[in-house]
Structure 1
Amino acid sequence: MDIARLFSSMSDAKEDNKGITKEDWMEELRKVRIQRSEMNRIVLDYLVTEGFKEAAEKFSQETGLKPAVDLDMLDDRIRVREAVQRGDIDEAIQLVNDYDQEILDTNPRLYFFLQQQKLIELIRESKFESAVEFAQTELSDIGEKNPEFLNELERTMALMAFEKPEESPFGDLLHVSQRQKVAGELNSAMLETQDQRTTSKLSNVLKLLLWSQSQLNERNVKYPMMTDIATATLTETQKK
């Protein structure tokens, strides 16, 4: 029994339009045998790709697996990520430029996201005058040259129209996840310069899972949908 048989079962269910119950799906899963070493390699790949050096070192020691790259190569990416996550965008930009100035010179989208994040940090600190001035001097030209950025700029500026920006319709920009998104974009760009994959194998598997579920939803197939990836919670969908 291998993972291909699971997808074959799902495919058969789609063809006859009967779907598959949660109980039947769990029974199929119990028949799958995945080697622990393979799971360990996937975990280590994720830790290295995302730049979690200490965790990767400890995991490598515990499992006896050797990382695909020298873990000291993670240091630059770690410093950039930490700067973004604490909201110090100027330092993040300086660190990236020290690492490889071409990253931001050749990637206007990434440069915009960094400047947008700096604007967000000014708004977070209620430095509204500085935020307006920064938007006018640093971001307005970028928006004019790249219309695709205008919507994000407008969303960010709209935060200042609310007494409690974090509770506004655009409050997601002030969430920690926004910093993580920018840090992730930078991490991927730096990995490219090292000729490494920009996404981990685990991330690709999760993307495939979400895509597969969207395809089943479009076809109105009854199946056990993973509604919470963090806890692997399955909820049986109902045909419309």
Structure 2
Amino acid sequence: MRKGESSARKEIKRDEWEKRLNDVKIRKEDMNKLIMNFLVTEGYVEAAEKFQLESGTEPDMDLGTTTDRVAVRTAIQYGNVEAAIEKVNDLNPEILDMNPQLYFHLQQQTLIELIRNGKLQEALEFAQEELAPRGEENHDFLEEVERTVALLAFEDPSTCPVGEFLDISQRQKTASELNAAILTSQNHEKDPKLPNLLKMLIWAQAQLDEKLRYPHITDIVNATMEDPIV
């Protein structure tokens, strides 16, 4: 902040700011729909069913298809890529046929799981037979193949410069990509609305910073605010 900038902006005290926030009326029904959207999109079926009973809020998609989608996601999270592919093809074989990048990432995850389980010869053969041909067709794929195969060069792959491939977050990344593709194939939004609203909150605060000094929401999880710095 430049010298003299803070004095040029209007300051709103905490009590006035909180009053303004409290004056904004949000319907409980809208909040419930937002929560239900998050639960269903992220695949928390049991929580969605319980929330439906408690709030009377109807999910915006069939919970039966959500259960199938969760089964796919769970298979990836446990490293069972082959089972996930079979379940996806049972749901809609066009999902993988129409998304070569997603299919490549599933094959890449298969390679990672082979390396994780110490099946190094099988991993090398899989890379040569399944991934290398795809890398020849796509330069971006080739770079990913080379980075993944680098895991084979280390006795302890977790110490490899690309050891993050073995982190659980890599499974989560692949599972989320597959989850989004299934939702899109079912004509649903691939991302829950709540995170986007939180991003809008952060953006709105950044815009207000140019004009006002006011209490900021610094902890989104707990909705705590800090007074403006004097």
TM bin, normalised by shorter chain, reads 0.7 to 0.9
Give unmatched runs, 5+ long, in structure 2.
none
Say whether the 8 Å CA contact 1:46–1:200 is kept in structure 2. yes
Q: 1:161, 1:229 → 2: CA distance?
A: 43
Alignment: residue pair count = 219
- Normalising by structure 1, we get a TM-score of 0.76
Say whether the 8 Å CA contact 2:95–2:182 is kept in structure 1. yes
Aligned-pair RMSD on alpha carbons? 3.5
1:110-165 Cα shifts (integer Å, max 9, x gaps): 00110010011011112111111111100001111111122322221222233332
Cα distance, 1:38 vs structure 2: 2.7
Say whether the 8 Å CA contact 1:83–1:91 is kept in structure 2. yes
1:47-104 Cα shifts (integer Å, max 9, x gaps): 1112211110011112221112221121220111111111110111111111111111
1:185-227 Cα shifts (integer Å, max 9, x gaps): 11111111211111110132244456x39x77xx9x999585x
Q: Which residue of 5, 27, 31 corresponds with 2:20?
A: 31
Q: Which residue of 100, 106, 128 corresponds with 1:108?
A: 100
Say whether the 8 Å CA contact 1:45–1:201 is kept in structure 2. yes
Q: Which residue of 58, 67, 73 corresponds with 1:75?
A: 67
Partner of 1:48: 40
Q: Which residue of 126, 130, 133 corresponds with 1:134?
A: 126
Q: Which amino acid aligns with 2:103?
A: Y
Q: 2:163, 2:14 → 1: CA distance?
A: 39
Secondary structure of 1:69 counterpart:
coil
Partner of 1:145: 137
Is 2:168 the counterpart of 1:176? yes
Secondary structure of 1:163 counterpart:
coil
Q: 1:165, 1:231 → 2: CA distance?
A: 38
Q: Which amino acid aligns with 2:17?
A: E
Partner of 2:91: 99
Q: 2:162, 2:150 → 1: CA distance?
A: 7
Question: Share of identical aligned residues, percent?
Answer: 46
Give unmatched runs, 5+ long, in structure 1.
1-12
Say whether the 8 Å CA contact 1:77–1:187 is kept in structure 2. yes
Q: Which amino acid aligns with 2:97?
A: D
